[in-house]
Structure 1
Amino acid sequence: MIKSAYLHIPFCHHICHYCDFNKVFLKNQPVDEYLQFMDMEMKHTLERFPPDHLETIFVGGGTPTALNEKQLAYLLDSVQRNFPVTQDMEYTFEANPGDLSLEKLHLLKEGGVNRLSFGVQSFNDELLKRIGRTHRKEDVIKSIEHARAAGFDNISVDLIYSLPDQTVEDFQDTLRTAFSLDMEHYSAYSLIIEPKTVFYNLMNKGKLPLPTEEEEVQMYDVLMNEMEKHGYQQYEISNFAKKGYESRHNITYWDNASYYGIGAGAHGYVDGVRLANHGPLKKYMDAISETGLGIKEEHTVTREERIEEEMFLGLRKTQGVSISGFERKFGADALHILQAPIDENIKKGLLEIQGDYIRLTRKGKFLGNEVFQAFIGAI
């Protein structure tokens, strides 16, 4: 059953120093044409893979809110025409603080969007400048005030820690400001230096002063402690929510469930097949002109790969991987066919079995990648 749809808007007013997502500068790009090709892709995708009951839509980027009002209205109408948008679904737009006028907010609300995800990253203006962000702390506060006034009652804020020259104390200050805004949801990720980014080039030149590994661990420890203290449940390694406000869309990924991927560079997973779209705009639009779809690659996931994904995606969730659910999916006992990596990580204190679930311990959350790696090629 296909539960979710991801739509990619690759346009940005400015490219952040750490970002490796598929994106292009907005200026002089064929934005209107691109949106028309997305509309065609939605139509042909649903013809090839009819939806059962769609539960979530997530529009990411890039910067979806970089679209002007006319373009935004076209996109929202396109989604409404192609997908079964309902009041009970979770419909999220990523937003850049400072990009959202009241008119855009009202367009989103009228178009069925009921959740916003703000890419804040930090509340330290100097750090924001250092990482290539164009907004400042005051822009975030105003954007959230405007979103509340427009009727949005489900808002998420993204944060990044272990930034260049960032201290534990600075991250604590960012968290204090974040909690003062009383959001429904927070995501917080440790900075990862990706190839083909400004930060990657600086790091290779020895010009990127990052916090030590010990300081990064301290920041994550502070994050978990402060979230718990302020009443936010950690339901995934990097995600925290008030009860009932967990990201249903992201849970689709961690449950290894099916989803559509629409747009340049988007990825989908349908009927056991992983789909990857062309990234460059021209190649993406040319592919749709020829076939109605933007697909560059299709990969049928083997049983062994599905099991690996079930473990390293499912273990990201605080709840963990259901033993009975694993048996229903694969007709096998996880504790038997994966005995070696499970036992090894239990001995290390990184995994535990709690009732029907295999899950990371608190110590395991700090070393999640090490645990996930143990399940690659384990069968």
Structure 2
Amino acid sequence: MKPKKKVGIYVHVPFCQAKCHYCDFVSYAGYSSEDKEAYLAALFREGELYRQRYRGTRASGKAVANADANANANAVANGGGIAAGNGGNNDGGHGAEQGLSGQTLYLGGGTPTSLTGKQLFLLISRLRELFQLPEDAEITVEANPGTIEREKLACLKEAGCSRLSLGVQSFSEQELRALGRIHTAQEVVESFTLARQMGIANISLDLMYGLPGQSLSSFRESLRQAVELHPEHLSVYQLKIEEGTPFASLVEKGLLREFDQDAAYVMYREAIEYLQAQGYRHYEISNFALPGKEAGHNQIYWRNEEYLGLGAGAAGFLEGVRYKNTSSVEDYIAQLVQGKLPLAEEENIDQALSMAETMFLGLRLRAGVNKEGFRRRYGMSIEEKYGPAIEKLLQQGLLEDKGTHLALSDKGLFVANLVMQEFL
């Protein structure tokens, strides 16, 4: 037997109370509790199919043909769950994988906390069992401050949730309304305080800059109020106007002007300087953490490691193949009722593309790309593969050679996309 394949596990919960004006994620409002129950049953089936697949079955993703596929599909069709203990006992011979083992679990969306407390408990508990997550695994749940309740937090805590990621975005009521958020600044404080009272010891806050009507002073105030809560982690993102969103429509009609990029750079620099002064380590382009509180799950992405994506619209990367599930909740459920993985896209990642992705994902980390790790993974050094590009960027002061790692310089941080294009 080969050892268990250790992966991060991402689960997409595509439900929300209302779609924000900037959101282009796979998320939908208006689904009933019964719809969500059917979705969870399908999600458990998808997890079971992957568990079976990596216990010896090597069928293609779109036609996983395990002996009990139809029986379990019927359970999904009838709204039932999938038994986590017994499915897929085919070991597939001496070369078979023992199975998938989860390193981390991340519930994103959408708004995972749009589910009931009982649904959240069942979701986390079932996946922990299916993929044998260790007791101390990092389990993160994204939450909208407007959907946090004591009962949900109690269920999350009991299920093993160790980290809460609150989508704050701003502490300005005017900016929150402009974004279409359903919560208030006061609800952020109340949700954070309640989470602490319920024993959630690791909390991350998301903030955004470059918002309609946002000033440098209002952004500074959001930073100040965020730090005043003493979160372990902060993510700070620039608003991007994405095609198909209400904001994009307003821009096209001339009713909304895109934020000045120079002003956005000033805000970004302000975030870096202020948060570092408050004891937060700037460990990734958009992320800051107290020492030892860096997001473990996201580092799997930035190190270009394997992860399993479950749910409508979820993406995954396994055995050199990147895949994306159908974004339609109805199609997602229907495919799994038939015992099929709900794949919409699959792409084989060859070594050249993998090396490029390892570079531009790894450069997001302030520590940079590990040179020895790159050599062991690909059989050649970074310099052998990208020598001219690296030399050019070093001379321009955009990269820094740290000996063991190659990283963005402070100057390169502000033109990161241009630097990363050199490796494509």
Fold shared per TM-score above 0.5: yes
TM-score (norm 2): 0.86
2:153 is equivalent to residue 97 of structure 1: no
In structure 2, the residue corresponding to 1:94 is in which secondary structure? strand
CA distance in 2 between partners of 1:34 and 1:27 (Å): 10
Aligned twin of 1:258:
306
Runs (5+) with no aligned partner, structure 1: none
Match of 2:30 among 15, 19, 26: 26
Task: List per-residue Cα deviations over 1:190-233 (Å, max 9, x = no partner).
Answer: 11111111111111112113431111010010011011100000
Aligned residues: 376
CA apart distance, 1:145: 0.6
Moved more, 85-94 or 219-228: 85-94
Moved more, 264-273 or 26-35: 26-35
- 1:64-213 alignment, distance < 5 Å: 64-213=112-261
Aligned twin of 2:53:
48
- 1:261-276 alignment, distance < 5 Å: 261-276=309-324
- Determine if contact 1:160/1:188 at 8 Å carries over to the other structure: yes
CA distance in 2 between partners of 1:363 and 1:49 (Å): 44
Runs (5+) with no aligned partner, structure 2: 56-98
Moved more, 314-323 or 200-209: 200-209
- Determine if contact 1:128/1:136 at 8 Å carries over to the other structure: yes
CA apart distance, 1:54: 2.2
2:407 is equivalent to residue 359 of structure 1: yes
CA apart distance, 1:75: 1.9
Share of identical aligned residues, percent? 39
CA distance in 2 between partners of 1:84 and 1:99 (Å): 29
- Determine if contact 1:13/1:27 at 8 Å carries over to the other structure: no
Instruction: Give the aligned CA root-mean-square deviation in angstroms.
Output: 1.3
- Determine if contact 2:117/2:153 at 8 Å carries over to the other structure: no
- Determine if contact 2:100/2:131 at 8 Å carries over to the other structure: no
Larger Rg: 2
In structure 2, the residue corresponding to 1:98 is in which secondary structure? helix
Q: State the 4+ residue runs in structure 1 displaced beyond 3 angstroms.
A: 26-29, 50-53
In structure 1, the residue corresponding to 2:365 is in which secondary structure? coil
Aligned twin of 1:5:
9
Q: Which amino acid aligns with 1:8?
A: H
- Determine if contact 1:77/1:111 at 8 Å carries over to the other structure: yes
CA apart distance, 1:52: 4.9
Q: Which amino acid aligns with 2:11?
A: L
**Gap change, CA 1:233 and 1:74, over 3 Å in 2:** same
Task: List per-residue Cα deviations over 1:26-79 (Å, max 9, x = no partner).
Answer: 344711111100011111111113545422100000000011233323323322
Q: Which amino acid aligns with 1:263?
A: G
- Determine if contact 1:256/1:313 at 8 Å carries over to the other structure: yes
